Amino acid sequence: MQFAHQVTHPDEPVIIARSAQMRRVLDLAARAAQSEATVLIQGETGTGKELVARTIHCKSKRRTGPFVAVNCGAYSDSLLASELFGHQRGAFTGAIADRVGVFEAAAGGTVFLDEIGATSPAMQVKLLRVLQERRVTRVGSSLERAVDTRVVAATNADLAELVRDKTFREDLYYRVKVVSSRIPPLRERPDDIKPLIDHYLEHFANANAKTDIHLSPEAERVLINHRWPGNVRQLCGEIEQIVAMAPSGTIIKPRELSEDLDERPPGGDPGAAETPLPNASSSAVTSTNDTEATYQQLLDEWTRDVVARRLDHFAGNITKTAQSLAISRSTLYALLRKYGMRGQED
């Protein structure tokens, strides 16, 4: 059986953190790195939990040791037990040799337990024992071995809620969240979007030996206003794709962006499913800096906003949206292309 987990000796990762929220996360990570305390990192998928875990490892005195990441949600119970604790030859069918588990493999370093909220009650009991006693027993063995690993855990579920629902043990919860950090979704820290775009444009341009790929102001606005349900991972993938498709010296237009980039509802309740129609008192202009924008930019932004809301109101229906705006369908199509939006044929 092969090791499914990853043993690495990572360099300290580059983390873009312009927003106050993200700087707080990094401050806490730096302080946590000075201790041996178990850390719990909560956040939606793609927000950077593993990146922060690696940062903690790289800033800690365990930095020269291994960093081992294991996704607890990716295994059946018995495979996870063998993955984490190791097994002895003959412990079960297929256990043809002794095998060290993650806790032993990461001796002197850090174990990253990803998706700890996905573990079964039986596994939670075992993890509690490891965290309390700092000892592991390989599956099929009775010999206890001392564990010299620091634990950083992550979850995209709300662990406190899982505790209330009795699907996550309260005692393990408190053992895990000695230090706890929550990384907000990207849509709650829009200040990070532009620097992330710039960072990844440069990164992927370098990786692909391309130069001078820039976003038009309109394309940039679409990216900044997107809700990014997949958070930084999704943004990173979008920029990678843009750079892959664009020759050097391109200015990217909205129509060159992925079709599924939706617009964040202006005024931004992230959970809002429906966007209200604009009324006279609520300014539709949301992102352009008023003291710098040209008349055309402001007009574009206002138009995009009105079209997005109206389209939303008619559930994306092209004919109804065009009728209600008293424009032809082809004019509406041109606007949608211009602003990187999409509607639905009826």
Q: By CB under 5 A, how many residues form the interface with Mg ion?
A: 1
**Pairing outcome for strands 251-252 and 214-215:** parallel
Residue 136 carries which DSSP code?
E
The smaller minimum CB distance to Mg ion, of residues 50 and 192, is found at: 50
- Shortest CB 47 distance to ligand ADP, Å: 4
Can residue 308 be called a binding residue for ligand ADP (CB under 6 A)? no
Q: Which residues pair with 41 in a beta bridge?
A: 154, 181
Map tokens 């206890």 to a residue: 144
- Shortest CB 40 distance to ligand ADP, Å: 13
The smaller minimum CB distance to ligand ADP, of residues 69 and 311, is found at: 69
Can residue 5 be called a binding residue for ligand ADP (CB under 6 A)? no
The smaller minimum CB distance to ligand ADP, of residues 45 and 297, is found at: 45
Check if the beta carbon of residue 121 is closer than 8 Å to that of residue 169: yes
Can residue 44 be called a binding residue for Mg ion (CB under 5 A)? no
The residue at minimum Cβ distance from ligand ADP is 48
Can residue 51 be called a binding residue for ligand ADP (CB under 6 A)? yes
- Shortest CB 17 distance to ligand ADP, Å: 6
Distance CA 286, CA 128 (A): 48
Reported as type and span, the H/E element at residue 264 is: none
The smaller minimum CB distance to Mg ion, of residues 52 and 332, is found at: 52
Residue from 172, 193, 232, 311 touching ligand ADP (CB under 6 A): that is 232
- Shortest CB 234 distance to ligand ADP, Å: 9
- Shortest CB 119 distance to ligand ADP, Å: 17
Half-sphere exposure (Cβ direction) of 146: Cα atoms closer than 13 Å:
2
Residue 43 interacts, among ligand ADP, Mg ion, none and using kind-specific CB cut-offs from 5 to 8 Å, with ligand ADP
Axis crossing angle, helix 217-225 with helix 193-207, rounded to the nearest 10: 120
Residue 185 interacts, among ligand ADP, Mg ion, none and using kind-specific CB cut-offs from 5 to 8 Å, with none
The smaller minimum CB distance to ligand ADP, of residues 84 and 232, is found at: 232
Nearest by Cα to 84 from 57, 116, 60, 55: 116
Can residue 305 be called a binding residue for ligand ADP (CB under 6 A)? no
Question: Phi and psi dihedrals of 298, rounded to 5?
Answer: -65, -40
- Shortest CB 239 distance to ligand ADP, Å: 11
Can residue 50 be called a binding residue for Mg ion (CB under 5 A)? yes
The identity of residue 235, as a single letter, is L
- Shortest CB 29 distance to ligand ADP, Å: 11
Can residue 300 be called a binding residue for Mg ion (CB under 5 A)? no
Can residue 15 be called a binding residue for ligand ADP (CB under 6 A)? yes
Residue 97 carries which DSSP code?
S
Which of 21-29, 46-54, 130-138, 203-211 is the region at the interface with Mg ion (rule: CB under 5 A)? 46-54
Can residue 185 be called a binding residue for ligand ADP (CB under 6 A)? no
Secondary-structure breakdown of the chain: helix, strand, coil percentages, each rounded to the nearest 5: 45, 15, 40
Distance CA 49, CA 180 (A): 12
Map tokens 């930084």 to a residue: 232
The smaller minimum CB distance to ligand ADP, of residues 88 and 231, is found at: 231
Residue from 19, 38, 42, 47 touching ligand ADP (CB under 6 A): that is 47
Q: By CB under 6 A, how many residues form the interface with ligand ADP?
A: 16
Can residue 16 be called a binding residue for ligand ADP (CB under 6 A)? yes
Residue environment code for 131-170, b if the CB has 16+ CB neighbours within 10 A, otherwise e: beeeebbbbebeeebebebbbbbbbbbebeebbeeebbbe
Axis crossing angle, helix 231-245 with helix 193-207, rounded to the nearest 10: 40
Check if the beta carbon of residue 190 is closer than 8 Å to that of residue 147: no
Check if the beta carbon of residue 24 is closer than 8 Å to that of residue 81: no
Interacting residues with ligand ADP (CB under 6 A): 14-17, 43, 45-51, 196, 232-233, 236
